[in-house]
Structure 1
């Protein structure tokens, strides 16, 4: 690892979905099926347990947590008392394959689906669904994606960027007033990079985590590489947070490939100081 990488916590399984919210770092341990929060003293608190793999999260504007429950194709909502209730049913769009989520400032939730790509089917069968703020409306807004993974919204809320892991690219869409997506384009071709979780900074550059190459990379629109941070294990996702959003938090673990996955106890939370603060969502 590079000298400016700091280890915050260790001993997890496949850690993913880091989020900075209300002054704390949240993340998911997919092996334990837990959503956790990290305290300043390094201790962790389990906020929810959901038998789901993947287990990705984001927040509604009113502070309630949304969780993607993959086996039953549901979007769950954590109420103030800790109870988990159904926010939306995703099965009308696709029965399985649900993955990451990002919520805009209006409460619209974008949830992507890797579809048949996860089981060796069509490599470009991925899609994105839009869930309205009250959970009552669910509709498909994009398709033809090659294993859609991390998603992020630019600081003006007008662009959704999606990591297409199998296509080695970041893809962008324009967001309409009703949440619909249009104007699909290649935001950045990554020259062999394998983007997983992503986040956006105040210069509208994107950080992407890359598991097989054990790194996080900051890229500009068009693909120019602005910074690379290497690790001693696979980087699964990243988010910009901290009091001034100038810390890149990374979920990382040893990666044994699709067959072996992540050896138990190798998941870590890492932190890297950066110059340009975070912006947009998550």
Structure 2
């Protein structure tokens, strides 16, 4: 299946548990077919949550996600998802792990075998087809996971920091391999990363999210010609675009801090209550504020 276009329109999501967490707020994003988009932002800003909404694993409170004109209403075979950990089935060989989605989809055995062989060849693991996950390195297991995510020929591949556990040099090599896979499959890719240079190297566009609740605060285009090579990471162009992304990240983080400080500068409570509660607090010094206190604790 060729890369699918994605339209995210007004997506908001709040989690309700022991405390209420407003994760996403009015996310609007258009992603072109075959585009590679990187999501970057502070910890807890909703990047991984947004991936799961795109993949149909979490339903938003409001807003829609549409792939090539068809709404996402639940787990969708048009979408492949790769997590931070490979999440392979320990009792299955590499080949059988890749075939697992095909088993669930009811593909005939001969079609499964041919597709699994092609995918393992694509990720350079044909000779490891019969190996169990426990005998493979972390990076190799993640390649099996990527092959499995591509099993049903999805139009969209979602990557949630798939190489975060790898050392720097191996991670660079795997990023280059990911781009090679993209060139051969034409799949639309949306990836989450905390590495600004990695985002710039891989993506056509870097989307910067604000601290929670996650909002789109900037979209930085990356006009770096393809095919790209690992040596591009050291280029002046990548350094310049990375600096631009970093500026947006710093700005949105500073804005969030300023807003938080503005909220705590005026003690809560009705005017008659405020003098009694804060009689010992010097003007402009919110000494009562404990940054480690849970938000729902009085």
For normalisation by structure 1, the TM-score amounts to: 0.30
Give the number of the structure whose residues are more often helix, by fraction.
2
Higher RCO (CA-CA < 8 Å; seq separation 6+): 2
For normalisation by structure 2, the TM-score amounts to: 0.28
Bigger-Rg structure (1/2): 2
Give the number of the structure whose residues are more often strand, by fraction.
1
